[in-house]
Amino acid sequence: GEAQKIDRLMEKFAARYLECNQGQTLFASADTAYVLAYSIIMLTTDLHSPQVKNKMTKEQYIKMNRGINDSKDLPEEYLSSIYNEIAGKKIAMKETKELTIPTKSTKQSVANEKQRRLLYNLEMEQMAKTAKALMEAVSHVQAPFTSATHLEHVRPMFKLAWTPFLAAFSVGLQDCDDTEVASLCLEGIRCAIRIACIFSIQLERDAYVQALARFTLLTVSSGITEMKQKNIDTIKTLITVAHTDGNYLGNSWHEILKCISQLELAQLIGTGVKPRYISGTVRGREGSITGTKDQAPDEFVGLGLVGGNVDWKQIASIQESIGETSSQSVVVAVDRIFTGSTRLDGNAIVDFVRWLCAVSVDELLSPTHPRMFSLQKIVEISYYNMGRIRLQWSRIWEVIGDHFNKVGCNPNEDVAIFAVDSLRQLSMKFLEKGELANFRFQKDFLRPFEHIMKRNRSPTIRDMVVRCIAQMVNSQAANIRSGWKNIFSVFHLAASDQDESIVELAFQTTGHIVTTVFEKYFPATIDSFQDAVKCLSEFACNAAFPDTSMEAIRLIRHCAKYVSDRPQAFKEYTSDDINVAPEDRVWVRGWFPILFELSCIINRCKLDVRTRGLTVMFEVMKTYGHTYEKHWWQDLFRIVFRIFDNMKLPEQQTEKAEWMTTTCNHALYAICDVFTQYFEVLSDVLLDDVFSQLYWCVQQDNEQLARSGTNCLENVVILNGEKFTLEIWDKTCSCMLDIFKTTIPHTLLTWRTTGGENDLLFQSDAKEKQLDTVSQKSVDIHESVQLRLGDNRFHNQLILGSSASEEINKVRSTTKSSEQKLFAALLIKCVVQLELIQTIDSIVFFPVTSKKEDAENLAAAQRDAVDFDVHVDTQDQGMYRFLTSQQLFKLLDCLLESHRFAKAFNANNEQRTALWKAGFKGKSKPNLLKQETSSLACGLRILFRMYVDESRTNAWEEVQRRLLNVCSEALGYFLTLTSETHREAWTNLLLLFLTKVLKISDERFRAHASFYYPLLCEITQFDLIPELRAVLRRFFLRIGVVFKISQPPDRVLGTAGSTESSD
């Protein structure tokens, strides 16, 4: 009625008011203007109608308009001024007559709200009539008509008139079945779309296309059950629009492509191509066909056949009515939309593809019957448009590639298989075109394979992806450039798979690339060389296939040959390495990836694989290291030392022990070999790191690693010592000193038992108390742990007895106790001390020299030889001559500190008994005899060697002072020994001491003999072995001669003379 008209009038007024006063008004929105306009009309009625007795006050008017401005109030002064204005003069139009309501009542007042509203409506009606009269009067006025003179004039005219046009055409199409009327309406809509397209007026264009799409009845809820000839004509018009205005349709493509998708389904049903849908059969999950008599398939629901039951007669009539949609002309016209996509411009084709992908997504949403019509069309248009310029094609593929990413991961395997196979076909065609250097488009094109491989867990699809890539490699290797990155990425993902066929095929293809393709097309593959090595590393790390792992490591070794043979190819390759100097490119892109991935294999894999990786890694270094720059070595050894860092991570104790025994041990020797081989280059950059790593090794609670650390130190120094500078020798000595200081097991002397549990270990207390300090039953700590290097059981070896192997099982059960852990650590420190003593001896005098000397001393004493000058051939091979006197004195201090510690421990019978009872348990109490004797022997050899060295005359005084103190202290200690076993251990030491003193000149002999004479007299009362007695006899005879106490026989004189002459 009239009220609705006024309502629309107010609404339009409010909208126009806001449009004309943008930014110049108090109103937050058109809603405010609309409500206020109404309130003004009501106020006018209220204040100026004689029938309203109780007039609205200003306060009431302000209150009525509270919160109308987007939940806020308009200013009171503003509302107040409106009230005043309306109160002063009512709003009235010309020729308005006052209307009154005739009432039977004589009273003229209106008291209730209902009557007030009635009055208001009458007022509105009157205003409407007046407005209508005015408009009719104006319509007959003659006004000048302006003719459009320019094309652009069409735009504002169309913008003004498009709505009524659309309404007219829509009503005509909807209400009239006359063919001619429908044809005119469709032509009108087509022309309107054309105008909107030409002037790029999006809103109007979209409205007309939506209207056209709605009249096809393909996408609306009423469905195709009501389809008539005019709807078929609408479909044809829509197809015509797609042909003629494709470049301008933009987002309207969505509606058109939705209709075409539904049209295809209508065609299938119309021609009976989908009998299983008609008969209501639905393919079950397992692939079996299950009948559903009364259930409508998804397609019918999509086409508007909604409802519980299906009327099969109705379906038959539908098939008849939509049969024309399958006519040749329609089918060809639809195909032309897709084949004609090549004529679309760069922006239009992107819109077309984007909305085709959107429609495809909708088609695939059905869980039971996903349709692939649009997906097929996507593949087709990809073929048609592949010849476009790269700039356009890359934009198209950005959309299509993303769609393939989603479709390839579709839970329906059939859909995913179709997607992957389509991708394969497109890729093969695309790769045929080849690629120029430094382009990346192949990489973008092949990325969906990578995405599908990463996201789709279906073995079938993963296998298919690998097969597709393998086929590409076999047929298109010559044309692939940037695509190699994706190929290796797919194989990298396949490498960690647990499915044997996937891993096998991927590895075979990778092997073919590395051995054959690289050989032929190496420059084209350099960009992805790192990816190839990384991929091989991933194969090596798949624990499920050990044979593949070993072969992968062999192929990495093969890659090293390419780098060695083709360094120029790396230097010339620029790409994204602009910041890398040309001479470093072969390192950054070639050597480093190989060595880095081998280190990853070492850190990630099980023992056999990581051992192979370690071997190959150092083989590569030894074979090609001569080509490495100095700063490359620094980078390389950061990786190498990560092998040891692995131990700083928390791990199971057994794994940690195995790692140390095998990998760390192996790596340590290999590092030292490489260091020796390239000493000239590495001494500056690596020596400190090597020493600190060796130091780290002896700090670990692992006997074999500790032994290896000292052995490697010995090897490095003996093999390279001749090239050492004074500074390097200082560092070497400092390293040995640090190891000595940190591995003296002080706790052996201070440890105290924590509880009474040790009583259980105490079997025959009274008997043990009778044992001497170091008796035959006591056992040397070092002997108890002398296991062969390479014996993996050493980490459980906490037992100090000579019957260690019998005790292993008992000790394993107690390794968790803190005491046993402490004892194990102490034991290893003892081992390191002894190893270090032997290392110093080997470094200074060359390995086994001292043993030979001891043997010859003993042999000479046995035959009471005339010539005591023992010659050892290898003597000068040691590093003695390269060490300064100060450095030798430092080493000497360490040796003597070690000797004194061992003496203190061996003399502390009570402490040794306590340790033995607590679990330092062999046949008897532990001792440190070897450490005690070997440290002193080494010290004496150094001092005596310096004593007769003509090049060290400056140090002779210090040497003599030290010798006298050390020897007299040693002899004094020997006299205190009560155990025969302990004295026997000193036999070689005394032989060495006496033989060395006998060799010095008479003048020096005099000083020494006077110091030792009383002590040697005491020694004679012991039961000494014959060899020692023979040397003592010679000593006393020499005293007689030197101090002129006796006249020596000729033989003795001859001997003395020869001795002096030998000096």
Q: How many CB atoms lie within 10 A of CB 568?
A: 11
In terms of pLDDT, which residue wins out, 189 or 219? 189
CA-nearest of 357, 365, 212 to 302 is: 365
Structure tokens that stand for 867 in this block: 């010539």
Rounded CA separation 801/811 (Å): 12
pLDDT at 874 over 50: no
If you compute the radius of gyration of the chain from its CA atoms, what whole number of angstroms results? 52
CA-nearest of 804, 762, 765, 763 to 783 is: 804
Q: Which residue has the tokens 């110049």?
A: 24
Structure tokens that stand for 753 in this block: 């038992």
Tens digit of pLDDT for each residue in 37-69?
878 888 888 888 888 778 888 898 888 888 888
Q: Which of 239-243, 583-587, 797-801, 1031-1035 has the lowest mean pLDDT?
A: 797-801
H-helix segments, 863-979: 885-907, 909-918, 929-947, 956-976
Structure tokens that stand for 858 in this block: 């003993």
Residue 352 is predicted with a pLDDT of 94
Residue 1055 is predicted with a pLDDT of 45
Structure tokens that stand for 270 in this block: 């119309």
The residue type found at 656 is K
Where does residue 215 fall: left (phi above 0), alpha (psi -120 to 50 degrees), or beta otherwise?
Answer: alpha
Mean pLDDT for 268-280 is 51
Longest dimension (CA), the chain: 177
Tens digit of pLDDT for each residue in 966-976?
888 888 888 88
Q: How many CB atoms lie within 10 A of CB 327?
A: 14
Question: Does pTM top 0.75 for this prediction?
Answer: no
Rounded CA separation 1034/1036 (Å): 6
Q: 356 φ, ψ to 5°?
A: -65, -40
Residue 141 is predicted with a pLDDT of 61
In terms of pLDDT, which residue wins out, 747 or 637? 637
CA-nearest of 288, 405, 285, 401 to 354 is: 401
Q: What distances in angstroms separate CA 328 from CA 243, 323, 333, 558, one per listed residue?
A: 17, 11, 8, 62
CA-nearest of 343, 370, 346, 372 to 357 is: 372
pLDDT at 215 over 60: yes
Residue 143 is predicted with a pLDDT of 65
Rounded CA separation 857/531 (Å): 65
Mean pLDDT for 560-578 is 77
Rounded CA separation 241/385 (Å): 21
pLDDT at 282 over 50: no
Q: What distances in angstroms separate CA 120 from CA 27, 113, 197, 999, one per listed residue?
A: 25, 11, 47, 141
pLDDT at 320 over 70: no
Structure tokens that stand for 386 in this block: 């592949």
Name the β-bridge partners of 110: 52
Asked whether 269 and 316 are in contact (CB, 8 A), the reply is: no
The DSSP-derived string for 696-747 is HHHHSS-HHHHHHHHHHHHHHHHHHGGG--HHHHHHHHHHHHHHHHHH--TH
Rounded CA separation 55/917 (Å): 114
Tally of residues, the chain: 1063
Tens digit of pLDDT for each residue in 238-265?
889 999 988 999 999 999 999 888 888 8
Report residue 700's pLDDT band, with 50, 70 and 90 as the boundaries. confident
E strand or H helix at 281: strand 281-283
Residue 864 is predicted with a pLDDT of 66
Name the β-bridge partners of 927: 780
Q: Which of 6-15, 124-133, 353-362, 789-798 has the lowest mean pLDDT?
A: 789-798
pLDDT at 142 over 80: no
Q: What distances in angstroms separate CA 779 from CA 128, 774, 800, 838, one per listed residue?
A: 124, 8, 7, 20
Residue 2 is predicted with a pLDDT of 57
In this structure, are strands 289-291 and 281-283 parallel, antiparallel, or unpaired?
antiparallel
In terms of pLDDT, which residue wins out, 762 or 937? 937
Residue 111 is predicted with a pLDDT of 55
Q: What distances in angstroms separate CA 795 from CA 115, 573, 647, 787, 798, one per listed residue?
A: 106, 50, 15, 11, 8
Asked whether 607 and 655 are in contact (CB, 8 A), the reply is: no
The residue type found at 913 is T
Rounded CA separation 312/314 (Å): 5
Tens digit of pLDDT for each residue in 794-835?
333 333 333 333 444 444 444 446 777 787 788 888 888 888
Residue 1049 is predicted with a pLDDT of 58
CA-nearest of 802, 783, 787, 795 to 824 is: 795
